[in-house]
Chains A and B, each alone.
Chain A
Amino acid sequence: MPWLRASALAATAGLLVAAALAARSIARDLQTPRALHGAPHATSSACRRCHADHDASWRRTFHRTMTQDARAPGALLGDFDGTSLTYLGVEATMDRGPDGAPRMTLRDASGALLRRATIERTVGSRRYQQYLARDADVLFRLPIAWSVEEARFFSLNGAFLGADPAEPPPDATGIPAGYDRHVTRWNDNCIFCHNVSPNPGLDAARGTFASEVAELGVACEACHGPGEAHAAANASPLRRYALHASDVADPTIVNPARLDASRSAELCGRCHGQRITPRLEDFLAHGDPFVPGDVLARYSEPLAADTALHGEAGVFAERFWSDGTARLTAYEFQGYRASPCRADARFTCETCHAMHDGDPRGQLRPDAAGDGACTQCHAALAIPARAAAHARHPAASAGARCVACHMPRVVYGLVDAHRSHRIESPDPSAQARDRRPDACTLCHVDEGRAWAVSAAARLFGTTARDAAPNAAAGSAPDTRLDAELPEAARLLAGGDPIERALAAAAHGRPGDSPTRGDARARRLARLLRALDEERFPAVRRVVARSAARLAPPQPPARSAATTRSRPRTRAAQRSRGCAPRSRPGAVRSPPTRPPRPRAGGPMHPAVTS
């Protein structure tokens, strides 16, 4: 059958020509840069079709659940089964409406209805979950949140650093001043870091918002850039296999692993490093123009101690120790930038962290666990004996871990102490001068600064420098007596709120002598005293947690609910007033809208208030 042979040859030739043309076209396409600014997004459901493994690993993370529709399956962590919380004389009841929608109802002591809000979205899911309700075009954060760790509702006054509100008369809504202290607007605050491609859509002339995000939560395109063109282009199997077979970067998408270390870190620093922009009006009207791979400084600068706001310097100074180290979380990027490890051009966030791997809590790379992150470069310290000799601490002890000394827990946030991301060499003498907690006394909580300075000199040969406080710290100098006092105890009793929280957290960690009864009793006594005197509810929570770690509660004689509802200390009474349930009243309007942001302001609300 000659015709069959001829047809087969023709078909084969045709296929070869078509394949050659396709290969040429694909090669050209892969060499053509794409503008990702303003490009449409595909959302994670489109990404999942090809990147099932990455989708699965992302779904494990708290990035995914950063912002969720409250009605999405599994989104709501709190018990919306009629649970109530009374605080400052207002009883908040969390239940569901007739349509099943979660809602939060506030009543005064007489039972009069003050506010009822239907919860539309949730924010957060790791430590606590906050709730958003709508008022026309505005989503506002409700004053009660859910603590994941404690499995209970609490006032956001207990999440941010602020003193207990005095108990002045209620405002026009019938809600006591201070109750709504942290009721803020989502549209121009949380939206920026907790979603993909945020656009507040502020119409400044009319004072209205048309807020949009490409996807709720921190999804694929937050780090990889807009993906619709990528998904469309790679519908072609030939293009996909050309990419599989080569090491060519696909210009339709950003792969952070291919970015240089600075661009890669800036991608994270966009949210993990609070920023300020001179183009706030643009940000509020049209959204953050940053696209992964951009130079962050094109649009904004990380906040620093000397950053001015509207020409006023020092506004943000309280957020930093006097040596420039951040005191608060969400300043990790600033710590990264100040780390000497940056001398290695490869050093970036992903040196230690992995977005698709490891424990979702912290998202450390599995091979960076223990001291693995550091021994990638400091290879000699991978040998335990050398690491112990370097640390001058027993090899198996917590003090021998690299992070114990080089990333001390001098950062406060989310009602806990966190490791500084400014990787540094411990120098208690310099840190005494800078009036900054040091790694030594945050672990050896029964020791003073003088001990730390002499121990560092003895163990590491550091020079005891002039320990006079840095003038920039602006506080009274340490006296000799102060230097002899246990530093953590001194901070717990007389530090500022952040110092008190850090010291309280340090008291609850195993530290240097966890099993000695007398040391434990001393620490517990300090904590109990602090618990009674502390005026900041967030610090009280840290103190209470540490006390519970030192003296774990005995099994309750009564039901847990009964026990929990009884305030046991003056401090607890202050934060857990009781009010009788009674008749419902008229529905009041939602809280007054928070004030408009000012141009040039910080892009996030202050963590301290």
Chain B
Amino acid sequence: MSTPIAVESPTSPRAAARRFGWASLLVWSTAGVLLEAAHGWKLAAVLDDELTRLLLRLGHAHGAALALVVLAFGEAGALLFADPLGARRAGGLLRVAATLVPLGFALSAIAHPEGDPGFAIVLVPPGALCLLAGLALVTRAAHRR
């Protein structure tokens, strides 16, 4: 006899975080597998340029780590908010951060100038600000509870 699962609105912050988090984890884990394959097959386009390697690694690592942060928010962080709007805002900020930061790193590996990431790196600072703001909201909610 199974326990009935509580029905949750698909637009709730928790559901959004779960959808985004698992999808993002899938995408950036796949990117990690592709990076490993590039090492395995000694793909010159990836291996010959140290900065390209670093940026792709940063993209993969930030993507996977921030996907876990979003999932953690969905499972625990959203529950801290008394106000659903606050939870929605915090979740939105974290999802934006989990999109911009890894994409900024990964895309800036493409056709970058010598010594610097490509122009897509401009996505990273706003992504980082969103992350900090989202975490600040969650922290505040935890203290208020």
Residues of A within 8 A of B (CB): 1, 4, 49-54, 237, 240-241, 244-245
Contacts and interface: CB of A to CB of B under 8 A. Distances in A.
Contacts of B113: 244
A178 to B, nearest CB: 52
Chain A contact residues, majority secondary structure:
helix
Contacts of B85: 1
A52 B119 contact: no
Given A52-B50, A52-B51, A241 B116 contact: yes
Contacts of A52: 50-51, 114-115
Nearest to A8: B133
B86 A1 contact: yes
A240 B116 contact: yes
B114 A54 contact: yes
Nearest to B118: A244
Contacts of B119: 241, 244-245
Given A1-B85, A244-B113, 17 more contacts: A1-B86, A1-B89, A49-B115, A50-B114, A50-B115, A50-B116, A51-B114, A51-B115, A52-B50, A52-B51, A52-B114, A54-B114, A237-B116, A240-B116, A241-B116, A241-B119, A244-B116
B132 to A, nearest CB: 12
A12 B58 CA distance: 26
Interface of B: 50-51, 85-86, 89, 113-116, 119
Q: Top 7 nearest A-B pairs by Cβ distance?
A: A50-B115, A244-B113, A53-B114, A240-B116, A51-B114, A51-B115, A52-B115
Contacts of A49: 115
A1 B119 CA distance: 34
A54 B113 CA distance: 12
B8 to A, nearest CB: 24
A249 to B, nearest CB: 15
Contacts of B114: 50-54
Contacts of B116: 50, 237, 240-241, 244
A50 B50 CA distance: 12
A1 B115 CA distance: 42
Contacts of B115: 49-52, 240
22 contacts: A1-B85, A1-B86, A1-B89, A4-B89, A50-B114, A50-B115, A50-B116, A51-B114, A51-B115, A52-B50, A52-B114, A52-B115, A53-B114, A54-B114, A237-B116, A240-B115, A240-B116, A241-B116, A241-B119, A244-B113, A244-B119, A245-B119
A391 to B, nearest CB: 38
B143 to A, nearest CB: 16
B130 to A, nearest CB: 10
A237 B51 CA distance: 16
A241 B86 CA distance: 37
Nearest to B137: A4
Contacts of A1: 85-86, 89
Nearest to A243: B113
Nearest to A245: B119
Interface centre among B50, B85, B89, B115 (most CB of A within 10 A): B115
A49 B119 CA distance: 19
A240 B116 CA distance: 8
Contacts of A50: 114-116
Nearest to A49: B115
A272 to B, nearest CB: 27
Nearest to A50: B115
A54 B114 CA distance: 9
Contacts of A244: 113, 116, 119
Contacts of B86: 1
Contacts of A241: 116, 119
Contacts of A237: 116
A237 B115 CA distance: 11
A244 B86 CA distance: 41
Nearest to B129: A11
A53 B85 CA distance: 50
Nearest to B115: A50
Interface centre among B51, B86, B89, B114 (most CB of A within 10 A): B114
A107 B85 CA distance: 92
A106 B121 CA distance: 62
Contacts of A54: 114
A241 B119 CA distance: 8
A53 B112 CA distance: 12
A201 B86 CA distance: 71
Interface centre among B85, B113, B119 (most CB of A within 10 A): B113
A52 B115 CA distance: 6
A170 B89 CA distance: 94
Contacts of A4: 89
A49 B51 CA distance: 11
B64 to A, nearest CB: 26
A52 B54 CA distance: 14
A52 B113 CA distance: 11
Nearest to B50: A52
A51 B89 CA distance: 42
A23 to B, nearest CB: 13
A485 B89 CA distance: 96
A1 B50 CA distance: 45
A400 to B, nearest CB: 35
Nearest to A53: B114
Nearest to B51: A52
Contacts of A240: 115-116
A235 to B, nearest CB: 12
A240 B119 CA distance: 11
